[in-house]
Structure 1
Amino acid sequence: MAKSLRSKWRRKCKAIKRERYGAKELARLKKTLGIDENAPADSDMKEISEIATVVDAKIIKEAAQEKADAAEKLEVMDEDGKRVFSSKTMRDQHGNYPIWMNRRKILKNKKGRAKAKKATANKTKRLSRKEKKKLQAKATQLK
């Protein structure tokens, strides 16, 4: 099927387009780089300071830190009247879930919290005979 007249025609048209668009793309690339065919060959490139500014990583980090600090200050100011939701528990400062959260998801979240709480709680486990003997031995040694 690859040798039908239609596919041959399409391949021919694509080759013509490739040639035409390739020339346009090359001209655009030269224009962006500042390479001009009509200009004299000994022309210098513009100074790099005019084209781009070089900045240290420290300055960028400091600016980002300042923005983060400013954002935190705004958040603190906004917390007065607004509800702030925890991303982990999905509840606000009053223990309420967001309005858009449906009942199934709330119940699922509660069930997960209960499991986590149960897993972390210290259980009073039964002692084996060996453990009881060890405890009794320690108690007699202390007396």
Structure 2
Amino acid sequence: MAKSIRSKWKRKCRAIKRERYAVKELARLKKTLGIKDDDSKPAESEVMEADQNEEQVIFLDAGEVTKKAKSKKKKVEAAAEEEEDEAMSSDDEKVQVADDDGKKRVFSSKTLKDENGQYPVWLHKRKIAKMNNTIKKKIKKRSKKRRR
């Protein structure tokens, strides 16, 4: 859609900026890794030499990164499913979930609370309120039946 003269000019300017920033970013990466000691700005010929040497910096686009992440995630999920099949085969009410921190938390499948009485982070507050309302209604019905 963007075929106007202005948009073509903007794209051209952005491409030039990208090249300029790539040189600066490469210098910053080398500085942080300790590959290059002096703080002077490298010329483009130095960047080309660095690419040809063993000190290459590989730039990945977002598509490649997401593909790698998905493949790793699939491997982890496959391993988790095998463990889950073994753990859930006994029809326990407890479900183990690993957090981002690496800690394992045990949640009840009925109440969705962990051993400390906390709900999981991913559970929405409306869902929690709805569950609490249904529990209260059941308790009320039981107490009415007992009164009779």
TM bracket, shorter-chain basis: 0.3 to 0.5
Larger radius of gyration: 1
Could you say which structure has the greater relative contact order, defined with CA pairs below 8 angstroms and 6 or more residues apart? 2
Q: Which has the higher strand share?
A: 2
State TM-score, norm by structure 1: 0.35
